[in-house]
Amino acid sequence: MIRPTLGSLATPATAKAGQRAAVTRADELALLTSLPTGLFIGGEWRAASDGGTFDVCDPSTGDVLVQVADATPQDGLAALEAASAAQKGWAKTAPRVRAEILRAAFEAVTARADDFALLMTLEMGKPLAEARGEVTYGAEFLRWFSEETARISGRFAVAPDGRSRLMVTRRAVGPCLFITPWNFPLAMATRKIAPAIAAGCTMVLKPAALTPLSALLFAQVLQECGQPAGVLNVVQTTSAGEVTGPLITDPRLRKLSFTGSTPVGVNLLKSAADQVLRVSMELGGNAPLIVFEDADLDAAVDGAMVAKLRNGGEACTAANRLLVHESIAGEFTQRLVERMRAHTVGRGTEPTTLLGPLVDEATRAKVHELVTDAQSEGATLALGGAYIDGPGYFYEATVLTDVPASARIMREEVFGPVAPIITFRTESEAIALANDTEFGLVGYVFTLDLNRALRLSEELEVGMLGVNTGIVSNPAAPFGGVKQSGLGREGGFEGIEEYLETRYVGIADPFAAAN
């Protein structure tokens, strides 16, 4: 197989009509030199307790972008101390005050959308257009939960026997630990931070070591928007277990929220059990995308492109198994190959780039390992399947057909631009194939039969389902999965419930004395 170089796939940086001009090196340096690089603890930026730092690199070149403080276990405990000290006062802060901080943060992030987008592209690799989309998505959690803050309610009722009164109130869970992934550096932070602020919880955030810069900039923005000291603390580190482990076993911590792989989530759940922590787990996925014979094929291909190549396939919501009815599989495959072949590969800052690098070499190696394993098991390579020569961690957009059930890619999450296509004959066969996984985050169905869509909405073992669409994420909707894809929900009306406890007060009959 011919292995193309990056240059042969990337369009020159000259902007076409209607496109934004390419970002200059001066733009990048101006942003990077203005960033905070310390730990954010108790409202102050500080160095790590041992003075340690680590490099944050550009996955499109491998070059160092900036060095940031590398937190120690002592720094993690200092962050929890700050959060614990601020908890009581923050929980008593008027809901409207908390709401206004969130609203101000929404306005500030929106105003600085270009900065956040460029920063995400530099540290994670996604194209600028996608990064701007993430800014919009991530900021919307701030607006949504600013509107929910003042709607936290309880109830008051007469007991059924009439002899007492029942009062139910809601209160903040308490200090939280958030562990966020590298693939959506801003949105995964705001999706947790916004409802916690709304509920009156303080936080320690441990962002991914690969992409800590967006979290640091967001912490700075929140501080500028009036967030009190200690409410949000940020401790980036290359020693995740050593820093977060003591926090999870500390009795001052009351909630743990994690987004990442299922194996790591399982270990965190075991650790959290000792303190009986409230937990939210958004874990792995292996999403099926089912295309029935009556589907609008144009819409199905469009949906597959979004569901598969959004974020370069580095998303838990990515369509990892494309189940296509045998009568249309040939045409669907041909169209998908043509569309994926046309995706311009390059550095995310180039205005014509549609597919950026993978985040690091380990991720790229795992993607290639799954592709080669599928081929060894009998799958046919219809497109791609190779590294792209040159600097950075680029991988070709890839399509596999005739993928057998024995291939690892049928069961393991592939975090890359790889589309395995499997055919089916009947609806029941499609459902069985879709459910044949320990994961259950999201699924996608393309059909013009409303009754079929409703049947699948009940039969598929997923927490979310897209019908004739390749994207389901929405801040106004509950995000989360079933089976080994996690516990709890983020976003929607349900999102704030994860940060509230219920208190019941029984009150003696106020009329007893009068009688």
Active site residues: 282
Joined together, the tokens standing for residue 364 give 């790229």
Q: d(Cα 188, Cα 179) in Å, to the nearest integer? A: 9
Q: How far apart are CA 169 and CA 24, in angstroms?
A: 54
Q: What type of residue is 232?
A: L
- Amino acid identity at 497: E
Distances (CA, A) of 457 to 14, 287, 443, 453: 46, 14, 9, 6
Kindly give the pairing relationship between strand 287-291 and strand 319-325: parallel
**How far is 118 from 355, CA to CA, in rounded Å?**
15
3-class DSSP assignment, residue 84? helix
Partner residues linked to 44 by β-bridges: 41
Instruction: Name 97's Cβ contacts closer than 8 Å, sequence gap at least 6.
Output: none
Residue with tokens 């995964």: 188
**Are the C-beta atoms of residues 509 and 162 closer than 8 Å to each other?**
yes
Cα–Cα distance list, 304 to 251, 301, 468, 481, 486 (Å): 46, 5, 10, 20, 24
Q: CA-CA distance, 228 to 483, in Å (whole number)?
A: 38
Encoded tokens for 446: 């393309």
- Residues whose CB is less than 8 angstroms from the CB of residue 22 and which lie 6 or more positions away in sequence, other chains included: 13, 15, 349, 350, 351
